[in-house]
């Protein structure tokens, strides 16, 4: 069963529900005041954000090491 995060847009109250609870909830309440998100999509966003951060840090580290090596090489040519 899928799990959902239901957020009331007016009061910012957050509720976690499965599919059957969500269907019962929205038969009693209007659809307009709530934001629905699948928990699987939320987890995927977190994983993508972590992967992006790790990749960016690795790229900047490699660029920094390359820059230091280049500056060291230029320094050795001058002196």
Give residue-wise pLDDT tens across range 11-51. Answer: 999 999 999 998 888 888 777 788 888 999 989 999 999 99
> In the 3-class helix/strand/coil scheme, how is 12-79 assigned residue by residue?
CCEEEEEHHHHHHHHHHCCCCCEEEEEHHHHHHHHHHHHHHHHHHHHHHHHHHHHHHHHHHHHHHHHC
- The strand order across the sheet containing 3-8 reads 14-18, 3-8, 34-38
β-partners of residue 3 are: 18
> What's the pLDDT at 59?
96
**Is the pTM value of this prediction over 0.85?**
no
Q: What is residue 71's predicted lDDT score, i.e. its pLDDT? A: 76
Neighbours of 11 (CB within 10 A): 8
Res. 79: pLDDT tops 70: no
- Does 53 score more than 90 pLDDT? yes
pLDDT exceeds cutoff 80 at 73: no
């Amino acid at each position: 069963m899928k799990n959902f995060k239901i957020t009331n847009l007016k009061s910012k109250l957050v509720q976690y529900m499965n599919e059957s609870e969500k269907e019962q909830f929205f038969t009693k309440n209007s659809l307009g005041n709530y934001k629905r998100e699948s928990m699987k999509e939320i987890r995927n966003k977190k994983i993508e954000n972590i992967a992006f951060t790790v990749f960016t840090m690795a790229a900047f580290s490699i660029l920094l090491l390359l820059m230091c090596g280049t500056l060291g090489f230029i320094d050795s040519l001058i002196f």
